[in-house]
Amino acid sequence: MLVTVSNSDVSEAARRIFGDRIDLAERYADWLAGAGVERGLIGPREADRLWERHILNSAVLGEVVEEGVRVVDIGSGAGLPGIPLAIARPDLQVQLVEPLLRRTTFLDEVVADLGLDTVEVHRGRAEEKTVRRAVGGADVVTSRAVAPLGKLMGWSLPLAKVGGYVRAMKGSSVAEEFERDADQIAKAGGVDGTVREIGGDLLGRPTYIAEVRRAR
């Protein structure tokens, strides 16, 4: 049985974001609520709020991603935000980077079941040379709840092309992180750091994006 959208407001947001691919989003929700919980990728208490808290919250990242680019999602875990983004934006090439075997196994199974031929799964850590060779030069590097901003930019910026962007999903205190970690971000080659708010008109509350451009 698919984990369909029940709340009317969330259902309307899902239809607007996913359009005629909402069936894929529902199948992904089913994976998260089933195997995702069973394998410890999603907490059991999260099953009742998968749509608003995880799937839609991730998919609105498409608001700040240009058309037809390549996106790398580091520390992808259960596929957040990369899989919802790929479902909502089939024009994108999305590469999921995750170090743990049990998670990459889950991701491989989900990608195959949903037929997401624009998505690749890579096992490894963002800072590893093999990963940098495999996915480096990306237009956009993203992540969700991976690490403090300074450390995150040290991992993420080397995967972006010069002139490309890191657009990481962060909490509401992201402006404070920018101030605290300014030296680390600059050392990693990042400039033009800014906070962007997305998804508020659809979800009722904004998602915060830490955006940094790679200058060198």
Annotated binding-site residue numbers: 75, 80, 126-127, 144
Annotated binding site for S-adenosyl-L-methionine: 75, 80, 126-127, 144
What are the C-alpha distances in Å from 10 to residues 5, 16, 83, 124? 7, 10, 18, 34
Q: How far apart are alpha carbons 190 and 156 in whole angstroms? A: 10
Rounded Cα distance between 102 and 43, Å, is 15
